[in-house]
Amino acid sequence: MDAFTTLTGVAAPLPMANVDTDKIIPARFLKTIKRTGLGKNLFDGLRYRPDGTENPDFVLNQEPYRKAEILIAHENFGCGSSREHAPWALLDFGIRCVIAPDFADIFHNNCFKNGILPVRLPREVCDALMEDARMGANARISIDLERQVVIRPNGEEIRFEVDPLRKHLLLNGLDDIGQTMAHAPQIDAYEAKRASERPWMPTIAVA
């Protein structure tokens, strides 16, 4: 996973609530066995017309948003399925940060595992940033994770909250499996305790 420290880039306005994971990446594109290559089908149903040509009305088909690294949306972003293909598709397109009033839990979690920073800010702040984003390349937005601020094009700094452990992992691009494996003795001890307290717990084997 790539570390996330600071980011300055074009932000795409997506003024929609309840952007679900089927909208982000429809199920028919989940047949890959890789994490990469999903960017071309990001927001497929919105981005392309039924004949496969680009829908010029969709923001990511417009300049300068084709190179957007930040996405600004409305409530409940990422609701629906647990598919990590959703953040993979965003990342493959080039999005490293999504700003919204709130996020669905699983999607929120999946972002952190892939070097994408989801930023929760109140709706009125998102609306102000949405207006900034509509100014396109003239209005680059910055995110400083260490200082936990979003910097508007006019220089105003907006503080956001982030879980300290997730921040640490993201800032350093750390694999949390390695971190957990350092606690293997505790996991061993838990398993031994469980075996004595709940000895009836069955194991699975397929005959």
Partner 1 sequence: MSGGKPRTLFDKIWDSHVVERLPDGTCILYIDRHLVHEVTSPQAFEGLRMARRQVRRPDATIAVADHNVPTSDRSQGIAEEESRIQVETLEKNVADFGVPYFPVADDRQGIVHIIGPEQGISLPGMTIVCGDSHTSTHGAMGALAFGIGTSEVEHVLATQTLLQKPAKNMRITVNGTMPFGTSAKDMVLAIIGRIGTAGGTGHVIEYAGEAVRALDMAGRMTVCNMSIEGGARAGLIAPDQTTFDYIKGRPYAPQGEDFDRAVAWWRTLPADPGAHYDTEIALDAAQIAPMVSWGTSPEDVLPITAAVPDPAELEDETRRAQVQRMLDYMGLQPRQKLTEVKVDVVFVGSCTNGRIEDLRAVASVAKGRKVAEGVRALVVPGSGIVKKQAEAEGIDRILLEAGFEWREPGCSMCLGMNPDKLTPGQRSASTSNRNFEGRQGPGGRTHLVSPAMAAAAAITGRLADVRELV
CA-to-CA distance for 138 and 10, rounded, in angstroms? 9
CB of 63 to partner 1, least distance (A): 25
CA-to-CA distance for 59 and 68, rounded, in angstroms? 10
The span of 4-12, 90-98, 144-152, 199-207 binding partner 1 (CB under 8 A) equals 199-207
Which residue in this structure is represented by tokens 């028919």? 28
Binders of partner 1 among 46-105, rule CB under 8 A?
Answer: 50, 74-76, 79-84, 87, 102, 104-105
Does the footprint of partner 1 cover residue 176 (CB under 8 A)? yes
When the beta carbons of 156 and 176 are compared against partner 1, the nearer one is: 176
Any bridge partners for residue 120, and if so which? 100
Query: What count of Cα atoms within 13 Å lies in the side-chain half-sphere of residue 92?
Result: 18
CA-to-CA distance for 11 and 72, rounded, in angstroms? 7
Count of residues near partner 1 by CB under 8 A: 58
Of residues 13, 23, 119, 132, which one binds partner 1 by CB under 8 A?
A: 23
CA-to-CA distance for 109 and 163, rounded, in angstroms? 11
Q: SS3 for 158?
A: strand
| Cα 142–chain centre separation | 17
The span of 59-67, 109-117, 128-136, 142-150 binding partner 1 (CB under 8 A) equals 109-117
Element spanning 11, H or E? strand 11-14
When the beta carbons of 156 and 163 are compared against partner 1, the nearer one is: 163
Does the footprint of partner 1 cover residue 181 (CB under 8 A)? yes
- Which residues sit at the interface with partner 1, rule CB under 8 A? 17-18, 20, 22-23, 26-28, 30-35, 45, 50, 74-76, 79-84, 87, 102, 104-106, 109-110, 113-114, 163-165, 175-177, 180-181, 183-184, 186-187, 190-191, 194, 198-206
